[in-house]
């Protein structure tokens, strides 16, 4: 009898011990999972910034060493302005605006000073900016006397009840708000004017020979490219994106591309990413490229890299368009996705690491 009691007591003790160890094991597993989660969270970048200076048939064989060095120097100058703002705790909106200002003031890019010419030999500029925290946005289209269109887009977002203003009305508002205004001749650059003349001549040849090729440009062989843009994440976790352009060489009838269209050329949402586009605007509008990348992330669970690849490498080409985007997600991951031969681009992370690219490979 005592033997049976002893065995029963021993079994009961073993079972009780096992019962106690199970919760402890679960607790340990839970703690491990929490630690892994926190480790992942710690890998989130404090801030990040990415820019582009346009996409197109940018080939090394067509680029002189001097011109390549000039582009790289200007891309670095621009991105460091935004990087310093973010590093010092500034907002992603300020970083985007000030970074784009540098590219708008450079004749190297199709924005601001380097804007391309319309068929009427004028320069008509478009821009937009978006706040990922509030989903507020501002845009301007078809201005001819506003020195920095991205500043006007920011003012429209911050101080007006509207999202977009165009033409003379936008310029009137810019004057009222004290923005820097210039004579239209400020935007003249000989290289862009010569590109227009070649585009017009090429068009005549196309009409004579029924040639369906795009307008020709010796440096970037697609007159529809050249936009500048920026996407950034700040230390407060807020995303922003902005885009500025002179549009398409030889454009007519007040044509407006994707750059000032929220959701096509620019989009930012703190729940997903911030995107700036550059490409054949008509197709980027139809595909709502910038918003679509955000939506694929938010609703389908794709990563930024997966979403950007799907839209730029599959959706846009299927429609017949081409171009690219730069984007940053809420964790500071950055992507420069394009389906052309090249795209002027640069990135800087919170460690101060700078990467500049021009060509596909």
Q: Which residues are catalytic?
A: 227
How far apart CA 288 and CA 290 sit, in angstroms, is 6
How far apart CA 214 and CA 222 sit, in angstroms, is 7
How far apart CA 101 and CA 240 sit, in angstroms, is 15
Sheet of 334-338, strands arranged across: 266-268, 273-279, 323-329, 334-338
**Adjacent-strand bridge partners of 356:** 346
Cβ contact 266:97 at 8 Å? no
How far apart CA 312 and CA 212 sit, in angstroms, is 23
**Adjacent-strand bridge partners of 349:** 48
DSSP string computed for 126-189: EEEEEETTT--EEEEEEESSBS-HHHHHHHHHHHSS-SEEEHHHHHHHHHHTT--B--GGGG--
**Adjacent-strand bridge partners of 348:** 49, 354
């Amino acid at each position: 009898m005592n033997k049976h009691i002893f065995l029963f007591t021993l079994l009961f003790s073993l079972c009780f011990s096992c019962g106690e160890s199970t919760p402890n094991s679960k607790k340990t597993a839970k703690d491990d999972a929490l630690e892994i989660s926190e480790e992942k969270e710690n890998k989130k970048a404090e801030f990040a910034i990415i820019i582009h200076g346009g996409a197109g048939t940018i080939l090394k064989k067509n680029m002189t060493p001097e011109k390549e060095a000039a582009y790289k120097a200007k891309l670095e100058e621009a991105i460091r302005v935004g990087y310093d703002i973010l590093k010092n705790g500034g907002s992603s909106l300020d970083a985007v605006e000030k970074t784009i200002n540098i590219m708008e003031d450079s004749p190297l890019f199709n924005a601001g000073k380097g804007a391309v010419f319309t068929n009427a030999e004028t320069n008509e500029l478009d821009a937009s900016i978006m706040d990922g925290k509030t989903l507020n946005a501002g845009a301007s289209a078809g201005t001819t006397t506003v020195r920095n269109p991205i500043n006007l887009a920011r003012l429209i977002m911050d101080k007006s009840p509207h999202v977009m203003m165009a033409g003379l009305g936008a310029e009137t508002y810019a004057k009222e708000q004290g923005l820097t205004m210039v004579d239209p001749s400020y935007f003249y650059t000989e290289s862009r004017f010569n590109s227009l003349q070649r585009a017009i001549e090429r068009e005549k040849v196309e009409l004579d020979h029924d040639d369906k090729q795009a307008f020709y440009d010796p440096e970037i062989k697609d007159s529809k490219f050249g936009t500048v843009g920026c996407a950034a994440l700040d230390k407060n976790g807020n995303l922003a994106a902005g885009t500025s352009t002179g549009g398409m060489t030889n454009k007519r009838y007040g044509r407006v591309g994707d750059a000032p269209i929220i959701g096509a050329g620019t989009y930012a949402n703190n729940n997903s990413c911030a995107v700036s586009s550059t490409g054949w605007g008509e197709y980027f509008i139809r595909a709502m490229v910038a918003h679509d990348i955000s939506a694929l992330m938010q609703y389908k669970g794709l990563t930024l890299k997966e979403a950007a690849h799907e839209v730029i490498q599959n959706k846009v080409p299927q429609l017949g368009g081409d171009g690219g985007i730069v984007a940053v997600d809420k964790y500071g991951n950055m992507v420069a996705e394009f389906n052309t031969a090249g795209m002027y681009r640069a990135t800087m992370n919170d460690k101060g690491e700078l990467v500049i690219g021009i060509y596909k490979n």
